[in-house]
Amino acid sequence: MGEITRALISVSDKRGVVEFARRLQDFGVEILSTGGTAKVLMADGVAVQEVGDYTGFPELLEGRLKTLHPKIHGGLLAKRDDSGHTRQMAKHGIPAIDLLCVNLYPFAETIASADCTLEEAIENIDIGGPTMLRAAAKNWEGVTVLVDPDDYAAVLQEMEQSYGGVGASTRFRLATKVFAHTTQYDGAIANYLSSLCPDGSRTTFPQTLSLQFEKAQELRYGENPHQAAAFYRDGSGGGLADAHQLQGKELSYNNIGDGDAAVALVMEFAEPACCVVKHGNPCGAAVGPDLLGAYQRAWAGD
């Protein structure tokens, strides 16, 4: 069980961070922080040591350089059960950092604005954050790493049940989530930069297109009963990606394909519409005064 004695917290999304830090402090955890996060925590009475004071090196370059320091990355990367690492840490005065809580500059939100300039986009490319996250996630056997505020409660609950520790299965799950997050983050940057023209305008289709999908569910079978399949979504929402099955058997690959085709067709109409689909093709479709009427007409047309 990985006991947590020292944590580094540096977040753009400050949702729930004060409560999280306060609970860590209740466990006796020493808290390090940076810039705006440190100010928010200290303003709410949480005892914090700023990273610049911890490393003995001030933040430079308008905040571009603050966490890229051996005392930070050594504390995240050192193997806890490696005597050589332990000796080097002691020699150079590098304490272990057992928990890292970081989320990144809001790059995707920044470039979503029609008024976003290249300069604004560049300044919202996080460097130190992904570097720390990757270091901590690589060393998941010794470090608990959080990138999502929705995971705070689960970590605190596990600490309560384990006298201040977090188990290996949780650390591994959180590390996996980090690499998925940093992949998505870097993909958004590559997509944006490769969409720019020399005059600063943006093309519809970037030269590089990075996509990321998460598994929504495993399916009953693939296109044929002897094949396996799973349903993945990209997070953009809409269609079957946000639907909830109310009854019936687990879905198959063909069910997903037919359902998606039906949804795509009815979304073309403003009035109540219904579509009956078989093997991806509409075999009955209708609009009506209400959903029941549309369904009855579509069924009659099948």
At 188-218, the pLDDT tens digits run 899 888 888 877 788 888 888 888 888 888 8
* Alpha-carbon gap, residue 296 to 84, rounded angstroms: 74
- The per-residue pLDDT for 99 is 95
Choose between 62 and 299: higher pLDDT. 299
- The per-residue pLDDT for 231 is 86
Res. 36: pLDDT tops 80: yes
Please tell me the least confidently modeled range out of 82-96, 98-112, 194-208: 194-208
What class does CATH assign to 214-301?
A: alpha beta
Question: Phi and psi (nearest 5°) for 223?
Answer: -60, -30
Helices (H) and strands (E) counted in the chain, each on its own, are: 12, 11
Query: Can you read off the two tokens belonging to residue 291?
Result: 């959903």
pLDDT digits (tens, 9 = 90+) for 154-188: 999 998 888 888 888 999 999 999 999 999 889 98
Burial class (CB in 10 A: 0-12, 13-18, 19+), 195: middle
Tell me the mean pLDDT in the region 59-82.
83
Tell me the mean pLDDT in the region 115-119.
84
In CATH terms, the fold of domain 2-193 is Rossmann fold (3.40.50)
Residues 6+ apart with CB under 8 A from 47: 25, 31
Write down the mean pLDDT value for the chain. Answer: 87
Rounded alpha-carbon distances, angstroms, from residue 158 to 170, 232, 289: 9, 29, 53
- The per-residue pLDDT for 223 is 86
Res. 261: pLDDT tops 70: yes
* Res. 21 pLDDT band, cuts 50 70 90: very high
% helix, strand, coil for the chain, step of 5: 45, 15, 40
**Residues identified as active-site:** 138, 279
- The per-residue pLDDT for 235 is 66
Res. 134: pLDDT tops 90: yes
* Alpha-carbon gap, residue 215 to 133, rounded angstroms: 23
Domain boundaries, the chain: 2-193, 214-301
* Res. 236 pLDDT band, cuts 50 70 90: low
* Alpha-carbon gap, residue 134 to 182, rounded angstroms: 8
* Res. 297 pLDDT band, cuts 50 70 90: very high
- The per-residue pLDDT for 151 is 93
Tell me the mean pLDDT in the region 280-289.
89
